[in-house]
Amino acid sequence: MSLNPKLTDWRGRRVWVVGASSGIGRAAASALHARGATVWVSARNAAALQAFTVEHPGSQAVALDVTDAQSVADAAAQVSQGGAFDLVCVCAGHYKAMRADALDLNEVLRHQAVNVGGTWHVLAAVLPGMLTKGAGHISLVGSVAGFRGLPKSLAYGPTKAALLHLGEVLFLDVRPRGIGVSVVTPGFVETPLTAQNDFAMPSLLTPQQAADAMLKGWAAGDFLIDFPKRFTRLFQFLRLLPYGLYFPIIRRQTGA
């Protein structure tokens, strides 16, 4: 069942990918450009953005810091000069594995500022225009780590859970106004963030595979775009379990 308008023809569509300097965001921007979209890319790393525009003629870049509301608002004003967006994809993210016996408050707050606060800054900048137009699509990149509590995810997991909840509420608010909403919840993807992990990452995908899955989800009109299915189906099942079963299973499987 399609919950959103199906996005299948990207030719001439205006797309803004925030968090496009590397990883999933860069791969998604590249895939959208290849399919004919007019792509804007944003992140803090201006040099990486410039390299993207050189490799993808016709794309445009504007640097920003998602933790700075004014920086995001200024970037949105620049990007929107050519018209309203057909897709805004928020990929900016911060991740550091953490457990309670090594709690780092500055790192916790950094996760909140980038993953949650940054998303709010983008939404505040683009929603008014989308609501006026009565069209467009907002896609938030979360993680299966947001489905349920996992070891080493003390700072990261709660922020991704917040994005899933935010996406659900946002869908209820804006879908009747003509705006699509999706939440992307990948498993492990080979990015600079996951490169720091010191544990085995099952079903590890490349950023290009992640981007392909995202485009398939947008084409199907999905709200929840989770992949790879062989991995995420397990987490969907775990979401249904009562705590009395869930906690022992996770402890046994992870050694937590």
Q: Which amino acid is at 116?
A: V
Beta bridge partners of 16: 40, 88
DSSP secondary-structure letter at 112?
Answer: I
Q: What is the pLDDT of residues 179-233, one digit of tens each?
A: 999 999 998 777 766 656 665 556 678 989 999 999 999 999 999 999 999 888 9
Domain boundaries, position 154: 14-254
* pLDDT of res. 72: 98
Q: Catalytic: which of 95, 156, 243, 246?
A: 156
Residue 180 lies in a domain: yes
CATH number of residue 147's parent domain? 3.40.50.720
The total number of structural domains that make up the chain: 1
Residue 126 lies in a domain: yes
Q: What is the pLDDT of residues 142-153, one digit of tens each?
A: 999 999 998 999
Residue 8 lies in a domain: no
Residue 142 lies in a domain: yes
Calpha distance 225→192 (Å, rounded): 22
Residue 9 lies in a domain: no
Q: For the chain, how far is it from start to end, CA to CA, in angstroms?
A: 38
Residues 6+ apart with CB under 8 A from 119: 66, 90, 92, 140, 163, 166
* pLDDT of res. 47: 97
Q: Are 135 and 194 in contact (CB under 8 A)?
A: no
Tell me, yes or no, if 156 is annotated catalytic: yes
Residue 6 lies in a domain: no
For residue 242, count other CB atoms closer than 10 A to its CB: 7
